[in-house]
Amino acid sequence: MPDDYNLLNLGGLTSLVKNVNVSLWGNQILFELIYDPTGERLPYSIVFHDCRDINWEVFHPEDVKDPEADLIGIHLGENAHRKAALIHTDIFEISILYGSFSIHKGENLNPEVEDLETENWGIRAASSIGPIVNPRPVKLPRR
């Protein structure tokens, strides 16, 4: 299975996972990441919405206090709950069956595509999403 990291349109350098925030009783999962950890350390986040099934495995419990996890691979799966996304790090792996996802970049890493968001099938540019200046948990209104 090929890795989907290049679909994030970040560039050729690696990323670190800084935090995972599960909210709305598991219906939304926010990953806070750093692109180019040895250089500019540019923040971005991936948010999975309308999550239905989450499988989480911690490989190395002795490393859970590390401030960052190396992103080893990401497979975006298919939205609309068709195929689970898989995020693999050196500390944990998580599988998420989701409705949609969005990517929010703190800096304009690729001028052609600032932010990405799933809509129906595939990925489209989302110009209405602003950059995350100070990522933190936010209480969202109920639908």
- 61-95: pLDDT as tens digits: 888 888 999 999 999 999 899 999 999 999 999 99
Q: What are the tens digits of pLDDT across the range 32-54?
A: 999 988 888 999 999 999 999 99
Q: Would you state the pLDDT for residue 48?
A: 96
| Chain centroid to CA 51 | 13
pLDDT band at residue 11 under the 50/70/90 scheme: confident
The number of C-alpha atoms within 13 Å of 133 and in the hemisphere containing its C-beta is 1
Q: Would you state the pLDDT for residue 52?
A: 94
pTM of whole model > 0.85?
no
- For residue 10, the SS3 value is coil
Q: Would you state the pLDDT for residue 119?
A: 45
Distance between CA atoms of 138 and 46, rounded to whole angstroms? 15
Q: Would you state the pLDDT for residue 47?
A: 96
Name the CA radius of gyration of the chain, rounded. 14
